[in-house]
């Protein structure tokens, strides 16, 4: 079954390449035939000055140009027939062992290429999902967007803490995690505990001041100064 699958894959590749070549050449042949079949013939009647000026501006296909197009068409057709003949002879010249060797080589290359693409995709996924450590971040927003009930369109720069604290786990965190998973603490809101350290501010910036409602206001403990896993 693997041999037949490989043979099918090889023939599909060859057919795709051959189809692409034939399509490109058939398009050029069709264009040549249309131009050769419908050349712009000059009118037998005496043209008026207006029509004479228009017709003189239009390009005409001369007899020698038509002959060149026909030669190119015949040459392209001969090239395609030659290519098909060579392709057929090449396939017939392979023995069963040689064909199997070619197919195995193609399949091995495809496997290596797929493995390389898979490893690249895995690395990208790991980089995308790799957690960042606990650190200080910055964000610009208005005083109203703080959600503390203050109304002002004044923009401030808020510093906050974000990130993972996996490497900062202590024995306490491991014990709490084990007790929660085993149900030792029981259920209910009273028994809820934090089973891992959290990224939080360890220090805050000085109080933020803003102007709103025609007065100068101060907000304390809003913007973080440093972060840590607590």
Mean pLDDT of 167-188: 79
| Rounded Cα distance, 14 and 5, in Å | 14
Determine contact, residues 34/134, Cβ cutoff 8 Å. no
Asked if residue 18 is part of any domain, the answer here is yes
Same domain membership, residue 89 and residue 158: no
Q: Note down the domain range covering 224.
A: 135-166+197-229
Tell me what pLDDT residue 224 has.
Answer: 93
Asked if residue 48 is part of any domain, the answer here is no
Say which range, 66-80, 81-95, 182-196, 199-213, has the weakest mean pLDDT: 66-80
Asked if residue 94 is part of any domain, the answer here is yes
CATH number at residue 151: 2.10.90.10
- Give residue 135's pLDDT band: very low, low, confident or very high (50, 70, 90): very high
Mean pLDDT of 164-184: 81
- Give residue 12's pLDDT band: very low, low, confident or very high (50, 70, 90): low
Tell me what pLDDT residue 209 has.
Answer: 78
Asked if residue 155 is part of any domain, the answer here is yes
Asked if residue 96 is part of any domain, the answer here is yes
Same domain membership, residue 154 and residue 100: no
Three-class secondary structure of residue 225 per DSSP: strand
Q: Is residue 40 scored above 60 in pLDDT?
A: no
Q: Is residue 108 scored above 70 in pLDDT?
A: yes
Same domain membership, residue 143 and residue 100: no
| Rounded Cα distance, 98 and 90, in Å | 12
Same domain membership, residue 202 and residue 143: yes
Residue among 165, 145, 157, 162 at smallest CA distance from 201: 162
- Provide, rounded to the nearest whole percent, the portion of the chain with pLDDT above 70: 50
DSSP alpha helix (H) spans, the chain: 2-37, 49-57, 63-93, 96-129, 171-182
Averaged confidence pLDDT in the chain: 71
- Give residue 52's pLDDT band: very low, low, confident or very high (50, 70, 90): very low
Q: How far is CA 56 from CA 52, 53, 60, in A?
A: 6, 5, 9
Per residue in 53-97, pLDDT tens?
Answer: 444 444 555 555 566 666 655 665 566 667 666 766 666 666 677
Other CB atoms within 10 Å distance of the CB of residue 156: 18
Tell me what pLDDT residue 159 has.
Answer: 93
Tell me what pLDDT residue 139 has.
Answer: 92
Same domain membership, residue 159 and residue 208: yes
Looking at the structure of the chain, the number of domains it has is 2
Tell me what pLDDT residue 42 has.
Answer: 42
């Amino acid at each position: 079954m693997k041999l037949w699958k490989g043979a099918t894959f090889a023939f599909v590749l060859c057919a795709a390449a051959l189809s692409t070549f034939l399509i490109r050449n058939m398009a050029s042949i069709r264009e040549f035939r249309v131009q050769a079949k419908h050349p712009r013939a000059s009118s037998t009647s005496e043209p008026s000055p207006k029509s004479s000026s228009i017709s003189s501006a239009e390009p005409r296909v001369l007899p020698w140009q038509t002959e060149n197009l026909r030669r190119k068409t015949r040459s392209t057709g001969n090239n395609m027939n030659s290519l098909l003949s060579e392709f057929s002879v090449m396939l017939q010249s392979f023995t069963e062992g040689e064909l199997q060797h070619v197919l195995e080589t193609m399949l091995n290359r495809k496997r290596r290429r797929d493995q390389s693409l898979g490893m690249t995709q895995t690395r990208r996924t790991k980089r995308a999902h790799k957690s960042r450590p606990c650190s200080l971040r910055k964000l610009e927003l208005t005083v109203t967007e703080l959600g503390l009930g203050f109304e002002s369109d004044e923009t401030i720069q808020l510093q906050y803490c974000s990130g993972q604290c996996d490497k900062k786990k202590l024995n306490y965190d491991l014990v709490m995690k084990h007790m929660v998973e085993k149900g030792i603490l029981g259920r209910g809101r009273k028994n809820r505990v934090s089973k891992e350290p959290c990224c939080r501010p360890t220090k805050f910036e000085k109080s933020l001041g803003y102007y709103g409602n025609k007065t100068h206001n101060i907000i304390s403990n809003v913007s973080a100064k440093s972060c840590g896993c607590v």
